[in-house]
């Protein structure tokens, strides 16, 4: 399991390093933390951000899928270790379509209705939808297509950067944690 976790986290880090709109990698670790987190890749933005671009959101999806893509490449199988990553990537893709108006068919249209709380509109969309079955089908198909395309993109990048993926995973297996300076050094040495 440690090897799978090491490659999984290395996959996130390598994809982040080569995704233009991704935040820089500050630390990668295979030391378990919190509930269910078997390792982590910490990315920290260079500056405070109040709005997020479409490219930034798509880059986040790429990075989230990088862990599973690395498992697939190295072990020719996938694990449940990516379940939180998949949930988060799917949520980003869904919100791009339903909340942010970032789809071809519903560009500039919000498909979710905000619930009215005591203090005004809620930050979370209501669970009840206000659109037709055909619209739900479009949303589901668009999410699935986006996730598949970005998974393939992450996998292709990792195949191209396989030497760095291997080097980082081996470093994680040996030292358990790689900081930003060491990660940059590894990137430049491969």
* Bridge partners, 121 (sequence order): 116
Q: Which of 1, 9, 124, 170 is catalytic?
A: 9
How far apart, in whole angstroms, are the C-alpha atoms of residue 10 and residue 114?
38
Judge whether 9 counts as a catalytic residue.
Answer: yes
In the chain, DSSP finds a helix count (H) and a strand count (E) of: 6, 5
Distances (CA, A) of 173 to 4, 128, 161: 10, 46, 19
Distances (CA, A) of 126 to 37, 106, 122, 129: 29, 19, 9, 7
Nearest to 3 by CA among 189, 163, 159, 176: 176
| CB-CB contact of 18 with 29 (8 Å) | no
| Active-site amino acid positions | 9
């Amino acid at each position: 399991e440690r090897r799978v976790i090491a490659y999984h986290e290395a996959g996130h880090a390598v994809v982040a390093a080569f995704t233009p709109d991704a935040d820089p990698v500050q630390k990668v670790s295979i030391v378990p933390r919190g509930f269910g987190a078997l390792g982590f890749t910490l990315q920290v933005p260079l500056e405070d951000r109040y709005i997020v671009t479409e490219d930034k959101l798509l880059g986040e999806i790429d990075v989230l899928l990088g862990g599973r893509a690395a498992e697939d490449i190295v072990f020719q199988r996938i694990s449940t270790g990516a379940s939180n990553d998949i949930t988060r990537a799917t949520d980003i893709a869904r919100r791009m379509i339903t909340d942010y108006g970032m789809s071809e068919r519903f560009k500039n249209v919000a498909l979710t209705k905000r619930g009215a709380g005591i203090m005004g509109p809620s930050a979370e969309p209501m669970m009840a939808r206000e659109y037709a079955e055909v619209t739900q089908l479009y949303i589901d198909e668009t999410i699935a297509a986006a996730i598949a395309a970005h998974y393939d993109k992450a996998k292709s990048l990792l195949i191209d950067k396989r030497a760095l993926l291997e080097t980082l995973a081996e470093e994680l297996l040996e030292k358990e944690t790689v900081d930003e300076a060491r990660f940059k050094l590894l990137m430049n040495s491969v």
